[in-house]
Structure formats: C-alpha cells, structure tokens
Amino acid sequence: MTRGDQELNYVIGWAGSDVTAITVRDHGHLTEATVQGGRFTAWCPDGLLG
C-alpha cells in the first residue's frame, strides 16, 4: 500500500486456536503479529515488516 511517498506492508491470516504468538520475518526483519480470535495481523511502515 502506498500513500504519497509513504509505504506500508501488512499481512493477515488464520491461526490455530492454541496459537498465542506469531513472529513474521520479512527480508531479515522480525515483527510480532497481533493474534486474536483465530486470526493474526502484522504491519510495518516504510515498506518492511520489522
């Protein structure tokens, strides 16, 4: 997603009912995802997750 000269990357998905944490890796950068209700999401400005 791009807005002006700013960029935002994000990811969403499903997680098992027993999953409590997810770490997303993007080009060597790590970001902790939000996990709730069997779904997860992670985002990062500047075009990199992490």
pLDDT recorded at residue 10: 87
- In three-state secondary structure terms, 5 is coil
DSSP 38: T
| pLDDT tens per residue across all 50 residues of the chain | 555 667 778 899 999 999 999 999 877 888 899 999 999 999 887 665 55
Asked if 9 and 33 touch (Cβ cutoff 8 Å), the reply is no
Q: What pLDDT does residue 26 have?
A: 79
Distance CA 7, CA 48 (A): 9
**Bridge partners, residue 24, by sequence:** 31
* 13/37 Cα distance (integer angstroms): 11
Query: What's the pLDDT score for residue 15?
Result: 97
Structure confidence at residue 48 (pLDDT) = 59
